[in-house]
Structure 1
Amino acid sequence: MILHFNYEELTALRAGAEVFLEGGETGGGGVLAPSEERDHVEALLPLLDGDVSLPTLRDVYAVQTAVGAITSMLRAEMESSVLMAHPAGERAVAAYFDFAHVFTVSHRLREMASEMEALIELVTGEPPTVETARSFQFPD
């Protein structure tokens, strides 16, 4: 399956991933990321130059983990920007849009995972397992 992005989503994801890998929020006081999240964000970053093919549910779960970590970091940055200045301040508005674009991707990933889980269950008669999440292939 293909995860489609628009330009704004790719830009926000790339910037968010880079900030995440540098240690967290851009507002200072960064927090060390858990290694699994960090590994998934590192793996996602080079793919962020266009649409991404996700042939297995395991691949979707990995991207979901990365995007979830970026979304959480961008949400914290947005909240911090609003509180440090004014809700309509330029930095707060930019932080909102970065968060909103990545949050939208996160929502699409949840829908994609749900559809893939349902198809695996329909075909195998059982909920997805670690093995079927790894081996069941979805065409682009």
Structure 2
Amino acid sequence: MIVACNYEEVTALSHGARSFLGNEEGTGVAVAAPPSGRMAVEGLLPRLSGDFSLNTLAEQKEVEKAVQLIVSHLREAMNTHVLATHAAAEVAVSAYFDYAHALTVLDRVQAVGSEMSALVELLTGQSPTDDMRESFQFPD
């Protein structure tokens, strides 16, 4: 299954991922996230060059986890910029758009996950098991 992303969404997610990991100038320190969360974001970062493919439900869940962490981080950054300056400040408006673009991708990834789960259930007659999440392949 393909998750379509436009340039602004990819840019916002990339910026958010690098900031989350502490790899971006002027973003302060990295977020103290559980190792699995950091690994999920690190795993997503190289894929952020455009549309990306999700082949299994397990992969979809990992991407969803990473995007959720990025969205949460961008929301905190937006709140910080709004409170430190004002709502119409350029940095606050930019932070809002980064957050909004990432949130849009999160919604899309979650919708694809729901579709994938529904397809597994339709084709197998049961809810996806852990084994199915790893092995059931979805073509693009």
Q: Aligned residue for 1:106? A: 106
Name 2:94's counterpart in structure 1.
94
The DSSP-based 3-state class of the residue aligned with 1:126 is coil
| TM-score, length-scaled by structure 1 | 0.94
* Alignment root-mean-square deviation, CA: 1.6
Aligned to 1:76: 76
Asked if the contact 1:81/1:91 (under 8 Å) is kept, the reply is yes
Structure 2 residues not aligned, in runs of 5+: none
C-alpha distance 18-29 of structure 1, shift in aligned 2 (>3 A): closer
CA contact (8 A) 1:86 1:92 kept: yes
Q: Distance in 1 between matches of 2:109 and 2:68?
A: 10
Residue type of the partner of 2:134?
Answer: R
**Counterpart residue type for residue 73 of structure 1:** H
Verify: 1:20 aligned to 2:20, yes or no: yes
Q: Which runs of 4+ in 1 moved over 3 A?
A: 26-31
Give unpaired runs (5+ residues) of structure 1: none
CA distance in 1, matches of 2:136, 2:29: 42
Q: Measure, in 1, the Cα distance between the counterparts of 2:14 and 2:125.
A: 38
% identical equivalent positions: 51
Partner of 2:55: 55
Partner residue, 1:64: 64
Q: Is the 8 A contact 2:78 2:96 kept in 1?
A: yes
